[in-house]
Structure 1
Amino acid sequence: MNKKWLIHLVLIIGAVIMVTPFLWMVLTSLKSFGEAMQVPITIFPEEWLVENYLDVFASIDMMRYYFNTLMVTLGRTLGQLILCSLAAFAFARMDFPGKNVIFIVVLSVLMVPMQIILIPNYGILTSLGWIDTFYALIVPGMFSAFGVFLLRQFFLGIPKELDEAATIDGCSFFGIYWRIILPNATPGLIALGIFTVLASWNDFLWPLVMTNSEETRMLSVGIAAFQGQYSTDYPLLMASAVLSTIPMLIMFVLLQKHLVSGIALQGVRR
């Protein structure tokens, strides 16, 4: 019993450490600029300025940023679910020369930091004429080595006897993928979708480098506009950060069971 209480105490401390920055962000978003900058600091605002959230929409084109971010996120997520599942199906179910070598090469991409390939990618997209377009924001993010690895692990856990039974019934190779594999890998697909949405919604460096105009700017880059060279309006910055966080919080609350089950099942795949 004492050990159980100790575990819960450690978890509570960890939860407090994780939640405190978020609460501080929310409280700062409701303060005035002077109160946010004063020393000693105050935890709760003297006057709760809800109008800070309205000032965000008046200061930047928040709705455009929301729309751009949503469109890029949906494009990347759908692309990864389709392309990564097809690649994972090939690695899990098909036999072809050099399969293991190719899979190792794909996984090696996970060990390469994005900053290293940023300049080569920029050169490729420049030659294609895609700079400052949604093609540059969506297309490179429609495939990931992590997505292939995650789904391959799920596909390996699905009994091959189902494939054989489907083949006897006259099902094609693509039919096995569509009718057998995907329905049995729903937790993995949902987990990959959530990971992709989070990564795309919070992406900053890639949109910052690849876009120049307001028409293609995403939330993460738009929020950075509140950071001045000499001073930063922290209440508006925190208010815009809260607004950008709300959709992800809603998604996590609605899909947390699927995310946890997907990660748990992936951990026991062979």
Structure 2
Amino acid sequence: MRNRAVAAHLFLGAVLLLSLAPVVWAVVSAFKPAAEIVADPLGLDPATLTLENYRRVFDDVPLLSGFLNTAVVLVSKGTLTLLLAPLAAFGFAKYRFPGRGLLFGTVLVTLMLPTIVLIIPLLLQMKELGWVNTYQALILPGAVDAFAIFWMRQVIAEIPDELLDAARIDGCGEFGIFARVIMPLIRPALAGLGVLTVMNIYNDFVWPVVVANSERMATLQVVLSTLAQNITGNRIGADYATVTGELLAATSIALLPLVAVFVALQRHFVSGILAGSVKG
């Protein structure tokens, strides 16, 4: 048994190293001179390490603007998701009303629709509303997705009805029950949903590049996608090595917020993933 556990840990360690190797290489290479990255990709001379790639990338591309737009969308859209999805799930899990099954089934059906199918109708709606190249278009569509409602519904369904009845007997209203009973009990699952929501919004590219095509409204992922073009456009004679060095620097910077969020919420994320997965 012990040998099997050791073998399992060695295997998982090897998988971890293989998974992290490209990320570590990218972060380390971002500190190397641009010419050295291309000439000797796997080599490392500590004496030549420099911050030049980071300095240049801030001069050549609007990274700060991309971070700001992403932060606005992330906070606004994430707040809506983490508030409205549990509220909708509470209704589906704990109330009986005509058409509940049909309505919840319709929500689940939207999970099967590819994102690309919804882009054109949503874009036409944004155009009619005059929201193209605005924060409203980046925030409101998809603020409450079907997966979030489904997950929260499964978690809330596990909460005993007796707790809710006891709160009603004590004079607590329905919104009071949601705020004072439901929300504290689903906190681990909500933290897990929060991590996934942050990752999805932060990494979203297709919708922002369609609905916010101006540089002023570009999110971080859109800025990164046009990074090579911006570098060569802003600097005459920029070569492949220069573009590679600045691209590695930019992506290393973009990794930091996600790593920080995951490290801060790792324990809650793991327990949240498991919440509602076992029928008690």
Considering the TM-score relative to the shorter chain, is it more than 0.5? yes
Residues 154-213 of structure 1, C-alpha deviation per residue, up to 9 Å, x if partnerless?
101111110111111111122211111111111111111111111111111111111122
Cα gap change, 1:41/1:242 in structure 2, threshold over 3 Å: closer, same or farther? closer
TM, length-normalised to structure 2: 0.91
Percent identity of equivalent pairs: 36
Match for residue 44 of structure 1? 44
Q: Distance in 2 between matches of 1:85 and 1:110?
A: 17
Residues 11-42 of structure 1, C-alpha deviation per residue, up to 9 Å, x if partnerless?
1121012101111211221223322223x643
Preserved contact between residue 34 and residue 245 of structure 2 (Cα < 8 Å)? yes
Partner amino acid for 1:200? I
Which sits farther off after the overlay, 251-260 or 24-33?
Answer: 24-33
Preserved contact between residue 25 and residue 238 of structure 1 (Cα < 8 Å)? yes
Partner amino acid for 2:7? L
Following superposition, the deviation at residue 45 of structure 1 comes to 5.0
Preserved contact between residue 34 and residue 53 of structure 2 (Cα < 8 Å)? no
Preserved contact between residue 153 and residue 269 of structure 1 (Cα < 8 Å)? no
Q: 2:252 aligns with which of 216, 234, 242?
A: 242
Which sits farther off after the overlay, 27-36 or 91-100?
Answer: 27-36
Preserved contact between residue 88 and residue 155 of structure 1 (Cα < 8 Å)? yes
Match for residue 268 of structure 2? 258
Q: Distance in 1 between matches of 2:212 and 2:45?
A: 37
Preserved contact between residue 35 and residue 42 of structure 1 (Cα < 8 Å)? no
Match for residue 106 of structure 2? 105
Preserved contact between residue 74 and residue 201 of structure 2 (Cα < 8 Å)? yes
Helix, strand or coil at the partner of 2:275: helix
Q: What is the aligned length? A: 269
RMSD: 1.7
Unpaired runs of 5+ in structure 2? Answer: 233-238
Match for residue 10 of structure 1? 11
Residues 81-132 of structure 1, C-alpha deviation per residue, up to 9 Å, x if partnerless?
1111111000001101121121111111111111121111111111111111
Following superposition, the deviation at residue 141 of structure 1 comes to 2.9
Cα gap change, 1:239/1:266 in structure 2, threshold over 3 Å: closer, same or farther? farther
Following superposition, the deviation at residue 54 of structure 1 comes to 1.5
Following superposition, the deviation at residue 216 of structure 1 comes to 0.8
Cα gap change, 1:269/1:59 in structure 2, threshold over 3 Å: closer, same or farther? farther
Preserved contact between residue 92 and residue 153 of structure 2 (Cα < 8 Å)? yes
Match for residue 205 of structure 1? 206
What is the correspondence of 1:133-172 to structure 2 with a 5 Å cutoff?
Answer: 133-172=134-173
What is the correspondence of 1:43-122 to structure 2 with a 5 Å cutoff?
Answer: 43-44=43-44, 47-122=48-123
Preserved contact between residue 156 and residue 269 of structure 1 (Cα < 8 Å)? no
Q: Distance in 2 between matches of 1:227 and 1:249?
A: 24
Unpaired runs of 5+ in structure 1? Answer: none
Q: Distance in 2 between matches of 1:88 and 1:75?
A: 20
Partner amino acid for 2:95? M
